[in-house]
Structure formats: C-alpha cells, structure tokens
Structure 1
Amino acid sequence: MANEPIDDIIGWSVGQAAWRQDCLRRLATTDELAEDDLDELLAIIKAEAGLAVAEAPPAPVPFAKEHFGGSKQAPITLKGIANVEGVNRLADKASLNFCPDALTIVYGRNGSGKSGFVRILRTACRTRIENTTTLKVLADVYGSGDGVQSADIIVDAGAGDEAISWAAGMPAAPQLMQVSVFDTASAQLYVDSGNQIRFLPFGLALLHRLNAVCLELKRKLEAEQAIAAGNKIQLSAVMFSPVRDTAAQRFAASVNAKTTDEQIEEAAKFTEANDARIDEIGTLLSSGSTAKTDLATFLSWVAAVAGECGEALTSLSDEALDALTVLRDKAIAARDIAKLAAGDLFDDEPLKGVGSESWRQLWVAARDFSVAEAYPGQDFPVTGAEDDPAACVLCQQPLLPEGAERMKRFRDYMEDALDKAASVAEQALVEAKLALPALAKLRADDFTERLEQVRSRDASLADTLLAFQKAASERIEDAAARLDGSERKVVSELVSPLTGMQTLAAKLTADKEALAAAEDTEGRDRLAVEKAALEDLKVLAANKAKLVTHRDLMLLNTAYAKAIASVATTGITKRANELIDTHLTTAVVTRFEKERNEFDIGHLKINLTRKSGQTVAAFQTDPGTTLTKVASQILSEGEQRALALAGFLTEVALTDGSGAIIVDDPVSSLDRDRSARVAARIAREAKERQVVVFTHDIVFFNELCQAADAVGIEPVTIAVFSDGDAAGKVDPAGMAWKGLNVAKRIGYIKNKSASLPKLRATSPADYEFEVKGLYGRLRDAYERVVEEVIFSDIVRRGSDVIQTQMLRYVTLPDDLAIRFHDGMTKANTHSHDNPASDTVMVPKPDEFEADLKALEVLVADFKQAKNAVEAARPGMKPKR
C-alpha cells in the first residue's frame, strides 16, 4: 500500500462523495450524526485510509457501585531468590528462602554476600533509587566478569510458586513492584527527597487511572489521526512548480473542510482550447534570441547526427563488418605464409622461432640500434671483413664468418616479399581500426538530453534513434573485436533513422525561419502571465480528485481534533490533586509524625509537605530552615537513618497493594536505644506484612528476635557466610550460636547429640571429643538461662535497655536454684580439661541425653514458677 499513489490510498469513490462530505461536515461542526451513519462512515474512512476495520466495540456500561470494589490489591508473597548467576561474589546457583507470612532475618558478617542479594532485590522490586549507575549490578570484578547477571525471584500471587526471571538492567516485573526495598542508598533519598506514594488507595487512584485512560485514548486517537490524516493532508495537497501567484494556486491553497464539490468543480475547469492556447503562447514566447540560439544549436546537432548515422550505415553495415573479418583473415594468412618460409630457411639455426613476432621485434630493435648508434651511416647488418669482423650489435662479440652469413640470411628474409606482404596486411588492420567511425555526437554525454529534445517533437523518431545509437555502439565494439581477433559481440540490427532526422531537420529549419521573422516582442509579459495561469489551471484540473481528498482529510482531521480535545486531562488532573490534598496529605503527614515518634526523632524540625504542581502523590522533606534545602546537611547520620526509616514505613503503609518489604542494615549509625526501637517497629510491621531483614549486627539480630517473640511471631533466621571461593553461602547449621535463644540452643544440642550412640560405638576418642563440645554448648545454654529465663531479659548483654517492669517475674525457688547449680556444675565438669588420671569418667550418650532433658525441664519449671508467682498477686494474670 505504501507504494500506491496517494489518490488510490485515501481517495473517495465518486458515488459516495456527497453523502460522505455531508456526514463529515456535520460531525466536525455539530456532532449531530445518526449512529448508523457514523458507524458506516468510520468503516469507510478506516478502509480507505488503510486501517483495519475492527469489530464493533461492546456497548458502554455506566459505572455502578459494584465496579468500585475493594480498596486493597492482593499482595504477592516473596518466597525467595534462586539460581543466582554472575552477581558479585555470590556462589553460582546461590539461593535464599524467605518466611512467606512473617519475619525473615538474614544474618551475616561483613562480606558474607548479603549486599549481593539486596542488589538483586532492589533492581527487581520497587525502590526509590532511579539512578541507573547506583542500580547497576556487577559481576565478580576480580573474576572473569563474563556472562549475564541473572536470578529467579520466586513469588506466590495466590496460584502457587512462580519463578520470575531477572537479569541485570531489565525492567522490573509488574508483580514485583509491590515489594519495597530499603537500603543505605535509598535512605538518602527519603531524607532529602521525601516520599512518593506510587500506588494510591483505590478511591484516590480512580481519577489518576482515568487520567491514564484519557492519555492512552489521546495517544491512540493521535496515532489514528496520524495514519488516517496526519501528513497525508500535506501529501494530498496539490503541488505546483514553480510556486507563483495564479488563480489556480490561490484556490488550491484555500481549500479547507468547508470547500464544496461545486467550488472544486468550477475552479478546476480546463478545456482543449486552453491546452492549445498554452502551445500557441509557448511558440510565441520562444521566439526570443535565446530560443533562436537554442534552436540553431539543436538544428546543428540534428544535422551532425544525421551525418553520423549515414556514416555508420555505411561503415558498420553487415557487409562492412564482414569485410573487416576478411581483412583480419588475410593478415593472419600472410603472416602464417611468411612464418612457413622462415621455417624452411632457418630450420638448421641453433635457436627456434626465427620469423616469429618476438624475433621480428628483436631484429627491428637491433637494426635501429645499429643504424642510429653502433654503426651510423652503414647498412644493417654490418658484418665487416673476414680479417676485420664487425661486432654483433646484440652480443657485441666479433661476427665470425658463420654468424655474418646468418645475419645476411636474416636480412634477406626480412626484405623478402612474403614478409613485406604480411606487414602490409597487418598495417591495413591498424588503419582499418583507426578508420572506424567515432560517432562523436551519438556517443557524447549530452546525447540523452538531446534525445529528449527529439522526443518532445517526435517520440517515434526518438525511439528509433536510441535503438540506432545502441546498435551502432555494439557494432563498433564488434568491429574492433573482429580486427583484434578477440571475442566478438552480439550486435543489433541497424534500423536507419535518416528519413526521420531529415524530416526533423526540415521542420526545425522552418521553425528557425519563423522565429527569425517574429521580431515583435510587444505584450510578451502579458502572454507569460496568461501562459502561467493556464499551466497551473491544467495542473489543478489533473488533480481534481486530489482536491476532494485533501478537503475530506481536513474534515476527518477536524473530527479527530474534536475527539482529542474531549479527552483533555487538565480538569481531571486538577480534581485528582484536590482529592489527594484533601484525603491523602493529612494521612501522610500524620503517619510520618507517628513513625518519627516511634524512633524518638519527633523533636526534629524536619516535616513533609506536598510537592506543588505535581500530578502524582509526591511529598518532599522540609528542613525547616532557609539555610539549606536538604535535610542531610542538618542531621547526624543516625538521625538520617531513623528519618529515612520513618519515611519508608510511611510510604509502604499508604501505598495500595504493598506486599513484602526488604530492609537492609536498618540500624546503621543508630545508637542501641534506637536500634531496639527499630527492632520493635519492624516486629510489629511483620504482624501486618511479610518482612525480610538483612543485618550484620548480632546485637540487633537478638533484639529483633526478642521483639518478634514479644509480638507473638516466630522469625525464620538464616545465616550466610563467605569463604575463599564465593559469598552468599547459607550455613546449613542455621544461625550462629551466639544469636540463638535458650529454646533454639536446646534444639540445636538435641540435633547434634543424635549421632552420639553411633559415634561411641565406632570411635571412643571421637565420641569423647564430640560429647565434651556438647557439654560446653550445654554450659552456654545454662548461662543464657540466667539472662533470658531467670531474670526475664531484664538486662541483655550488648544492650543498655533495662526492662524494670519485668522484675516482678523474677523468682528463684530453692529447689530450682539447686537443680540449676547441679546442672551447671556437671556441664562445667565435662566441658573443662580434666586430669589425665581419668578420675572423671566420660558420660555415656544416655547420660548426656538425661542432662540435656534436665535443662529443658528446668526451663519449663522456671516458667511455671513465674506464672504461679504472678497468679498469686491480686488482680494479676499469669504471663504467657
């Protein structure tokens, strides 16, 4: 379709033109058009504009209350990361599994690979970071660096586990945009740039979604407009060359959506008389001196070409070409005879080839050297006397009698009639080639231009002349090939154009004489104006259908313009901003204040304000001073981290459809008091949504575990580590020992002691080593019981928080104290280095099992004793 003329692509059929024009005019000016007429009109417009005619759209349904469903999107669950390839130093196929409904804590020391996993998540999920350099994920810069960084993000959207492929630099998957990531790089943005509520609650999002729909409609309408009308309006305009002020050009420029068919018909009337008048005026105007000179030049060219044609007809005829072949054959035969004679004469000579072309050239060169330089004035060859031989001009040795005789025989041969006849025949070939016609005019660069002048007067003659020129050129090449003895060319027949050329020359002569007689130039300007007007009218008449197309496209373009104007978003945007300011701004500011108080930074003069002129729900931090525009220049690093966490939690709390949150190193630069506050806040958030925390701080890890326990959730803990080969390896043993509470320590010891019976039966020495280590772990557990169970975590190691309200749960009955002392003593005994005299027997597996069970029962009895004491107090309920 792109190669078809514009008239064929967008032209209108004559039978429907009036109806279509009427429909378009009503649509563009009044919007009053019957539905059937509109449907048919649009179908015709699309078909003739090259657009696919789609099926009729479904009938629109008015909004009803049931269309405005729930206010929350169903969040996805982040199940883990798998099949990591090429990311930092992370091990190939590294993976992490996350708790699907509460809290996951990933612990690892510096350089253990936590940041690699976080970098994957922040590029795959939602983050405030937009800088592509910051988001760039590197390979192992100390390794090969080859390959693509990739991984699978495992999610569950309600239909089971689904692996979403991730690769560095690819756009984030829509599902993962519900997952929010907080890390050090994004923290700076929350401090200085504020918040962006990217997914509004459903009610507030409606107008923004309507805005998006209108923008999409506008985009599609503009795209359709560009295809159906667009630059086709310009393409359908009638083009004139040259551009000048004539009635036809003025009318073409004035055509618009309101131009009628009658006006176009009247303006584009052109008759045969008008066409004849153009030719008549052209003849009159061409009578100027330049025209006469051009005509004389052209006439001279025609005469010269006619002469060349006559010459070619003679010298390039079939007979003439055959004669050249005969001439070549004669020369070859004469030379062959001369060679035979040479062969008979010189068969006994030492060297073969006497009489050949190369030998003859040698003889001529030797003769020229002898006459000109060696022996000037003496006939060649100079042989000298018997007692005084001459020197040979080639070897410069004295010519002995035999050599002198040979040179005389050579001379006699070269002067022989046969050789002379062959030379004459060969010279005739040279002269015949030089005599081939040059056809200077027929083969000149301006031949094509001159041919068009012939064509303008006699198209048939121009075709004949072009064919003659082609055939003559072929025959010249064939003639040269015949004379050279090279491969001959296929030639075309010579069809004589002489009669036509002579007729044209006679007519040109008559025109030249007529122009010379027309010396009166009065009124030439008036004639030129008249001729220009008629020429442009002829162009306008030839493009009458194009004028109709142009008018109809302008009508269609006007209709599209009205439709595009109807989806303008200015009013929608204004109302959307009003609703956000009314219903969301207060909620954001209030929530932000609440989150700040959670981290004990409510005293800071940093506030949130709505960004002006925004079409999205964006809020900026206000540092509360004119001395700076960024809060990071005012706050300490710890205050910045606390403020960033407050902003992050505000954003995810008010964002519709937020799923899991990923928090990396949340307590960087925080003091221990705020660290505990962050742990408590994250634990409460984990009651509402899935939370994954990455940390290297073992104290914060314990605080977070205790905070989770306080709100009734059991966190899933993961320990990652690195070695000389790679990072991001998951410790199968679980969390580091010092990060485990009493219950998990007892569970760990149980798992490790299960193999003791078998080990004792196979290697007593290995058994003794293993059981001694387990008694050491048992002793550690007893020590943790003091902190966690007996003193109810009132004072924790590594934390300066003292929970004095827990004092009322502290109780130490004598029997429990004795049992604690006995158990601790036995653990110490069997974990310390004992005398070599073997006075302390190694406990058997069942004895160790009993000692472990004793600690487990002791912990349960302590809790029961605490509850009994609490229950004995008036109005108190036991602590669960």
Structure 2
Amino acid sequence: MSEPIDDITNWSTKLSPWRRDCLRRLALTDDLVADDLSELLGMVKAAVGLPTGAGQPAPVPFEKAHFRSASKHSIALKGVANVENINRLIPKAGLTFCPNNLSVIYGRNGSGKSGFVRILRTACRTRIENAAKLRVLADVYGDAPGPQSADILVDVNGVETTVTWTPGMIADPALMHISVFDSASAQLYVDGGNQIRFLPFGLALPHRLNAVALTLKEELERERAKVVGDKVALTNVVFNPVRDTAAQKFARCITKATTVEAIEKASDFSADDESRLTEVTRTLAAGAVAVADVSALAAWSASLLQEAKTALASFSDEKLEEWAALKSTAVAAREAAALAAATLFTDEPLPGIGSATWRAMWKAARDFSVAEVYKETDFPVIAVDGAPASCVLCQQPLGPASAERMTRFQAYMDDTLGAAATAAEKAVSEGQSGLPAFKLFHAADFADRIEQVRQRDARLADDLVGFGKALAARRSIAIARLAGEEAPPPPGLVIPIAAALGVLTSRLTGEKEALTKAADSEERAKLAQEKAELEDRKILSTHRIKLLKRRTLLISDAAYAAALAEVQTTGITKRANELVDTHLTAAVVERFAAERDRLEINHLKVGLTRKSGQTKAAFDVNPQTKLTKVTSEILSEGEQRALGLAGFLTEVALTEGSAAIVVDDPVSSLDRERCMLVAQRLAEESMHRQVIVFTHDIIFFNEMCREADRLGIEPVTTALFSDKKAAGQIDAGGVSWKGAKVNKRIGRIKDAFAPLPKLHQSSPAAYEMAVKNLYGRLRDTYERIVEEIIFCEIVQRGVDIVQTQKLRMVHLSHPLAIRFHEGMTRANTHSHDNPASETVAVPQPCEFLADIAFAENLVKDLKTESQTAEAARPQMKLKG
C-alpha cells in the first residue's frame, strides 16, 4: 500500500503550489467545500496576476503524512424510515438492516421491494446516470400525493446520521460510498464496463485533483466571459476600406504588451494634420480647371497684396494727416496771395482780381496765347512788330493802359506768394487725382474671391472684408481732407493683412504647384498614400479610448488564459492513468476474472480494458469480436446478469473503504446452480462489508440463509407483503414458514407458545386450538429435519441440484431413528383431527415444552452423529 502513496507524494513535488495544496486538502477530506474551492481559485488567480479580492493563504507542501486511512470511514446503512408517497408503499414505511453483515429482504412480486431499492439507488451510488430512469414515482393510481421523502439512517464511524432523502437532492457524501446493483444497472456493467470511482490506495487523488481543476476551469471561464467575453471584439476599430496603412497595422497588432504611450503616439492627430488632409484631399480631387482656378486665385491674392500695401502706405494715419496738412497749406497760401492782390489791385475797375476764378481765367488765357495765338512767345504779348498786340480775351488792341494792366497782372502771377499758393493748390489737386482706386477691393468678384479664401482660411476672409471696409472709409476721409471738408476719425488698420495675404499667396502658389504635380501618376500615388495614412490616423484618434480599453481587455484575457493553462488536466490525467496501470489495472483484470470464475462464467470471452477519463478510472467491457461492440447482443439474459454481477463485485471490491452494497434481485434469469453460486458469493462478501439483498425467490432466500449459516453469520431477514391498499408492509412473523430452517422454526414455535400457559388457565378450548396448531408446525419441522439435518440438504424440495458430495455426512443410527419416529408420532397425534370417540388428552403446557426440548435434543444429536460419521470416513478409507 505504501508504493502508490510514495509515487503520489514524489509526483506532487513537481506540481504548482495550488495543486499541491489541493492534493493535501483532498487527502484529508472526502471532498472540498466552497471555501476550499474559493481559496484554490484565488491561488490560481494570484499566480497569474489576476485580482483575487483578498489575501490568499500560503500553500502547505503535500506530504505522505496527509494521507488518511480508508479504515477511518466505516459506513453502514442501518435502515430506511418515514417513507412518504413512494410507489404503493404504505405511509411511514420502513426497513431495518443488519449494520454488520447480511440482510435479506424477501417479498413476492408487488410486495414493495422495488420502492425501497429505487429510493436507495437515487440516494446512493449507482451506474445509472439517466435522470429519467432514476425517477421515483408516487402511487400513480392513488390520490394526488404530497411531497416525496424518506429518512435514510446511516452509521458513519459509529455515529448514526439521518439523511433526509427527497427527489433531486444533492448527493450526500456518505451515501455515495454505498453501491446499488439492480436490473437497470446490470445492463450498464455488461455493456459499459467498470467505473472505479472510489479508487484505493490514494489513487483517487489525481482524479479528484482533475475534478477540482475542471471546477476551477468552469469558474474561470464563467468569470472570463463576464470580464472579457466578446468585449474585445467590440473594441475593434473598423476601417473602410481595409488597407496597408501604419494606423491599420497598429490597430491590428495591439497586444497586452502594447504601451499606453504607443497608443497615444499612434492615435495623435493635430490641427495641422487636419489641414493637411483637407489640402491633400482637395489636390487629389482637383483637375485642370482647379489648376486654373488656383492660379487665378493666386494672381488675385498677389495683386490684392499689392493693393493692400499701397493702401497701407496711402491711407495710413500719417498720410491722412499729410493730406489734411497739404490742403491747409494751399488754403493759407492762397489767402496770403489774395491779401497781396487786394492791396495791389485796389484801383482796378472790377473786383475779384486774384481769386480762383480769375486765376483760372488768366491761366486759360495764357494757355490760349501760348498754344494758339502767339505760339512760343511768353505771355502776355503786349506788342507785335512794334504794334499793339490784340488782347487774347477781348481781342481788341491793347492800349497803353491795358498793356500796363496785363503786365501788372503777370507780375502778380509771377509773384512769390501767388506762385506758392498755386504750387500748393497744384499739390492738392495732384493728391486728389493721385488717390489709389483699389479696384480689386471694390471689384464685382470680390465677394466670390472672399468665399474662395474662406474655404482655406475663414479668419483671413473676415479680415479682408473688414480691411476693405476700413480702406473705403479711409479713402473717403482722404478725399474729404484734401477738399478741406470735415471727416470722422479714421477706422483702424492694425490688421496684419499684408503678412496674411503673403502667406495665402505662398500657399496658393504651393497648391498650384501641387496640383500641377498631381497630374503626374507617381506624385499622385504619393499623395493618395499620404491621404490614406492621414485618414486612418484620424480614425485611430477618434477611437483612442477604445484602443486603450482593448489593451486592458487583452491584458485581462491573457491573464485568464494563463490561469486556464494552470488548470489544464492533461498532465494530471496522464499521471493518474500511469498510477492506475501500475497499481490497479492488473488487480481489476485479475479480480474480474476471479469473479467470473466464482460464478462459473469464465467460458465467456469477455474481458476488461482500461479506458480512464479525467475524473475516473474506467475499464470497458471488451467482447473480443469485431462483429459488435455491445456485449448484450452476444450473451443470454442469465449470462448478462452473471457478468453484470461480476463487474459490480469487481468494482466494489477495489473501491476505497468497505461501504455497504445493496443488491436487488441478483438471480433473475439465472439457473438454480448459478443461483447457489451467487448466494455463496454474496454471503462471503458479507464477511467483509455490509450486504443487503432484496429477492422474490424463496429458494434463493433459503440459499442465502444457508450460506450465511455455513459461514457462521446470523443474517437479518425481513418479509414484505402487500394487500389491496398498499405495499411495503412488514410481516410481523418474519420470513414465510416455508423459508425458515429447523432452528428458526423451533424458535418461532417457542415464541408462539409463550402466551399459551396463561391461555390454558383462562380458556382451555382456545388453548386446545392453539396448541394443536403448534403441533402441526412441529410436524412440519420434523419433515424439514429429514431434509436439512438427516440428509444434510443433499436433496431439497424445489431445488434441482443433488449435492452428492454431502453423502459422506449422512448417518442415521437405529436409536436416533427410533427417537425421530417417536417425536414425529407424538406431533402427528396432537396435530391431526382425532375421532371424537377417541380419548386423546390435550397436552399440558409442560408436556408441549418437553416435546419441543425432545426435538431440539434430537437435532443436536443428529448433527453430532453426522459430524462424527464424516470424521470417521477418511480413517475407514485408510484402513481399507
């Protein structure tokens, strides 16, 4: 037994801490509770970095000392009580079992045996796993039943426990050690083989470790589905179209190792990137017309820049002040010249000499003279060839006075004040005529151009509109100031319009060049790739939070994957199978062969092959033929029942501990010889564990009792019966009289006689009837003495077998034959109906007791003589 334990402890050193701790807990207990599973799950999660919610206990190394002994768990089934609404069983029906060896429950068909068995097979361990087949019905012909229940009395290590059974209840660990065999499970043993679910020598530990690992796996998968589930798929960034851009590559390649910094960098998209995307998009979408439009807009922008610069130079605050000062100077000079003229021409016949009108007239006359009349002669011309010249105004010859006046007027015009005034006025006039017109700012297409600018720079467009309005206002102010008129304060011109227009012009020039280049296929491909990169990076930017969430989910998912790898069972299963092969497989095969031999079915070419699973060690039935994989198609019903019983006994013999077995109707379809073999085998099994047998076969019942007697076992026997109302009723008289052996018959006769002495005193007539009946039972007992004691059960009524090997025990001496005759005669005398005229006295109570004692002594002496005869026969043979 130490070898498997050593193998498991040595193997445990290679396991992870949580697995070693799990082995330790499983070795100490039958099963793990919720707290154990929670702690183990926490240890697994802590190992891979998942949140555990609380600190986890430190694992304890697994050692050989942790193995518990199977003998610690002594489990016996003491009875079933308080049955309610099960089949036709009476309310509060119950059965009591022998807790140590053998219990045999007899009942005819319909007596209620199956009702008790159905309760036990749903509460205890059975090969039947189909819930429908395990269903327990109420009385289908009775009134509407209430809840179904029963109390199952179990003794665990000397402590009696009541397990309340209800349909669908969670299996009680103690009851799961008790195995049930019936007709339904027999088929499974024939075709399904053995499932050694409670392995010996600690071999169950790896399988139980697998079961825990699978439980933890289910819990991790549930938690993973809740935490991660399909949320990773929901964080996928959808790109349309799918292409080979850096952004799409990054999105596809995000893993748990991707850093937050990498995500931030890959999804960065600035305002400049947006502007560039718009520009590239427009460039790619544009054609030849767009090139012309951009060229025109660039030329307009350049021209507008020049107008703006001119405007800034012509209508600055300083220039406006200069225009106003120029007008003031001209006015002041003219006023000074006018004052001088007033003094100089006081005696002239006409007033207004020197006025603006007069100066205009004088100037016109001078121009007429120089250009038309007296070409290339200084004005005024006084004489021509010595004769008075004609006046260019009145065209009359100039007299001396007129000539002198004309000379005086010219002198005035040539005078410094007048010249200065004229020069100042000329400067004002030139300023007025030289004011810039700003055609572009006031052109009809200005609004359209502004909209084109707005598509590229909305702020610049607004600034240009404002600049144009301010420019128009300042020009009007300049005109007013040159005219000497009042004007409002000029609006500001602080907008850096020239610089902005310069930038726009440069951009437009670049755009024009880009559009020109875009016509080239290679350059266009580069722009298309740049546009794709910018578009996909913009998509990443809008889904930055989703990318970060994806990274977090992938980190959690990877941790859960690592945790699930921790609870993989492949290695454990492999080791468990190795241990089973080393320490159990040969034992199972040999035991199965031995059981078949005991039941004399070794001629069947049916064996067992191991086919273990994750949580159990299974041995499949191998029919050793290619024609079928189902053994039941080969064997007769009797062979199937015998083979199923052999499989069942193999399984229980090699399971951990020695808990009870319940066997229902084990000899169905078996011949009488094999029935006797089954009785022998079950009686022998009851020497090692509690055996409870249900049967409707009275002969098999007697064989069970006889085999128990042979082994020195006192079985507990119970008889069930039913009536029209209900089944499951216990016969207070015990097993039927036919099934009782000599000793039990004598005991039952004594029990029945106990009240008769008092009855003899109170009612002799009633006493006579009762004692007559008991003498009839005594006569039956003498007949059974012949069969059981004298002929040693060589020939039995109802049994086809003649056990000739027991002839050596047969011996009947003359004295004992006489004594038998005497006792039988007396029983006949008092049991038969004697004639009324014959005077046969009714035996007194003391006489009846003497007759019983006579029979007991006869049985004792017959057995002694038989044993003596058997002992003497070998000696006689040697002498011969």
Same fold (TM over 0.5): yes
- Alignment of 1:633 with 2:633, yes or no, is yes
Structure 2 equivalent of residue 602 of structure 1: 602
Rate the CA distance shift 1:543–1:45 in 2: closer, same or farther, 3 A.
farther
Counterpart residue identity of residue 785, structure 2? V
Counterpart residue identity of residue 135, structure 1? L
Deviations 1:793-816 (A, max 9, x none): 333322244444544444434443
In 1: Cα distance, 2:222 partner to 2:131 partner: 31
Rate the CA distance shift 1:92–1:574 in 2: closer, same or farther, 3 A.
same
Tell me if structure 1 keeps the 8 A contact 2:718–2:730: yes
Using structure 1 for the length normalisation, give the TM-score: 0.61
Tell me if structure 2 keeps the 8 A contact 1:705–1:715: yes
Give the CA deviation at 1:597.
1.3
Rate the CA distance shift 1:72–1:278 in 2: closer, same or farther, 3 A.
farther
Deviations 1:226-248 (A, max 9, x none): 4554545445x375698876765
In 2: Cα distance, 1:209 partner to 1:161 partner: 27
Q: Equivalent residues in 2 for 1:227-376 (5 A)? A: 227-234=226-233, 237=235, 251-271=250-270
In 1: Cα distance, 2:785 partner to 2:46 partner: 83
Tell me if structure 1 keeps the 8 A contact 2:48–2:559: no
Give the CA deviation at 1:727.
0.7
Counterpart residue identity of residue 124, structure 1? A
Deviations 1:800-840 (A, max 9, x none): 44444544444434443333222221111110001113511
Rate the CA distance shift 1:637–1:254 in 2: closer, same or farther, 3 A.
closer
In 1: Cα distance, 2:702 partner to 2:814 partner: 30
Give the CA deviation at 1:633.
2.9
In 2: Cα distance, 1:616 partner to 1:160 partner: 29
In 1: Cα distance, 2:257 partner to 2:185 partner: 59
Could you say what secondary structure the match of 1:174 adopts? coil
Q: Equivalent residues in 2 for 1:355-504 (5 A)? A: none
Structure 1 equivalent of residue 397 of structure 2: none
Q: Equivalent residues in 2 for 1:109-188 (5 A)? A: 109-158=108-157, 160-188=159-187
In 2: Cα distance, 1:107 partner to 1:42 partner: 59
Give the CA deviation at 1:846.
2.3
Deviations 1:274-330 (A, max 9, x none): 789999999999xxxxxxxxxxxxxxxxxxxxxxxxxxxxxxxxxxxxxxxxxxxxx
Could you say what secondary structure the match of 2:174 adopts? helix
Tell me if structure 1 keeps the 8 A contact 2:808–2:873: no
Tell me if structure 2 keeps the 8 A contact 1:667–1:678: yes
Q: Which consecutive unaligned segments of at least 5 residues does structure 2 have?
A: 1-41, 285-511, 519-523
Structure 2 equivalent of residue 785 of structure 1: 785
Tell me if structure 1 keeps the 8 A contact 2:577–2:612: no
Give the CA deviation at 1:845.
2.0
Tell me if structure 2 keeps the 8 A contact 1:72–1:202: no
In 2: Cα distance, 1:601 partner to 1:272 partner: 92
Give the CA deviation at 1:187.
1.8
The structure with more radius of gyration: 2
Give the CA deviation at 1:75.
4.2
Give the CA deviation at 1:699.
1.1
Structure 2 equivalent of residue 646 of structure 1: 646
Counterpart residue identity of residue 120, structure 1? I
Tell me if structure 2 keeps the 8 A contact 1:45–1:228: no
Structure 2 equivalent of residue 752 of structure 1: 752
Rate the CA distance shift 1:875–1:713 in 2: closer, same or farther, 3 A.
farther
Could you say what secondary structure the match of 2:667 adopts? coil
Structure 2 equivalent of residue 798 of structure 1: 798
Tell me if structure 2 keeps the 8 A contact 1:240–1:536: no
Counterpart residue identity of residue 593, structure 2? E
In 2: Cα distance, 1:139 partner to 1:613 partner: 36
Q: Equivalent residues in 2 for 1:535-554 (5 A)? A: 540-541=540-541, 544=544, 547-554=547-554
In 2: Cα distance, 1:765 partner to 1:241 partner: 111
Give the CA deviation at 1:536.
7.0
Tell me if structure 2 keeps the 8 A contact 1:809–1:869: yes
Give the CA deviation at 1:772.
0.6
Q: Equivalent residues in 2 for 1:85-104 (5 A)? A: 85-104=84-103
Tell me if structure 1 keeps the 8 A contact 2:106–2:719: yes
Counterpart residue identity of residue 662, structure 2? I
Deviations 1:488-517 (A, max 9, x none): xxxxxxxxxxxxxxxxxxxxxxxxxxxxxx
In 2: Cα distance, 1:825 partner to 1:230 partner: 92
Deviations 1:532-555 (A, max 9, x none): 987876675566455444324423
Structure 2 equivalent of residue 837 of structure 1: 837
In 1: Cα distance, 2:52 partner to 2:192 partner: 47
Deviations 1:316-368 (A, max 9, x none): xxxxxxxxxxxxxxxxxxxxxxxxxxxxxxxxxxxxxxxxxxxxxxxxxxxxx
In 1: Cα distance, 2:620 partner to 2:60 partner: 40
Rate the CA distance shift 1:804–1:240 in 2: closer, same or farther, 3 A.
closer
Structure 1 equivalent of residue 77 of structure 2: 78
Structure 1 equivalent of residue 58 of structure 2: 59
Q: Equivalent residues in 2 for 1:474-873 (5 A)? A: 540-541=540-541, 544=544, 547-611=547-611, 616-837=616-837, 839-866=839-866
Could you say what secondary structure the match of 1:151 adopts? strand
Give the CA deviation at 1:640.
2.1
Give the CA deviation at 1:680.
0.7
In 1: Cα distance, 2:168 partner to 2:535 partner: 62
In 1: Cα distance, 2:180 partner to 2:715 partner: 19
Tell me if structure 1 keeps the 8 A contact 2:75–2:154: yes
Could you say what secondary structure the match of 1:112 adopts? coil
- Give the root-mean-square deviation of aligned CA atoms: 3.9
Tell me if structure 2 keeps the 8 A contact 1:75–1:178: no
Tell me if structure 2 keeps the 8 A contact 1:125–1:180: yes
Deviations 1:457-507 (A, max 9, x none): xxxxxxxxxxxxxxxxxxxxxxxxxxxxxxxxxxxxxxxxxxxxxxxxxxx
Tell me if structure 2 keeps the 8 A contact 1:180–1:658: no
In 2: Cα distance, 1:259 partner to 1:123 partner: 55
Rate the CA distance shift 1:866–1:646 in 2: closer, same or farther, 3 A.
same
Tell me if structure 2 keeps the 8 A contact 1:259–1:551: yes
Moved more, 672-681 or 245-254: 245-254
Rate the CA distance shift 1:119–1:145 in 2: closer, same or farther, 3 A.
farther
Deviations 1:776-796 (A, max 9, x none): 111112222222223333333
In 2: Cα distance, 1:781 partner to 1:648 partner: 38
Tell me if structure 1 keeps the 8 A contact 2:85–2:149: yes
Rate the CA distance shift 1:241–1:753 in 2: closer, same or farther, 3 A.
same
Rate the CA distance shift 1:72–1:590 in 2: closer, same or farther, 3 A.
farther
Give the CA deviation at 1:161.
2.1
In 1: Cα distance, 2:808 partner to 2:843 partner: 39
Give the CA deviation at 1:201.
2.0
Give the CA deviation at 1:72.
6.3
In 1: Cα distance, 2:133 partner to 2:220 partner: 38
Tell me if structure 2 keeps the 8 A contact 1:794–1:802: yes
Could you say what secondary structure the match of 1:670 adopts? coil
Give the CA deviation at 1:562.
3.2
Tell me if structure 2 keeps the 8 A contact 1:585–1:610: yes
In 1: Cα distance, 2:654 partner to 2:614 partner: 18
Give the CA deviation at 1:44.
13
Deviations 1:64-99 (A, max 9, x none): 222334366724211111111222211111111111
Structure 2 equivalent of residue 21 of structure 1: none
Give the CA deviation at 1:689.
0.7
Moved more, 772-781 or 112-121: 112-121
Tell me if structure 2 keeps the 8 A contact 1:72–1:201: no
In 2: Cα distance, 1:243 partner to 1:146 partner: 69
Q: Which consecutive unaligned segments of at least 5 residues does structure 1 have?
A: 1-37, 286-519
Tell me if structure 2 keeps the 8 A contact 1:43–1:53: no
In 2: Cα distance, 1:566 partner to 1:874 partner: 71
Rate the CA distance shift 1:817–1:618 in 2: closer, same or farther, 3 A.
same
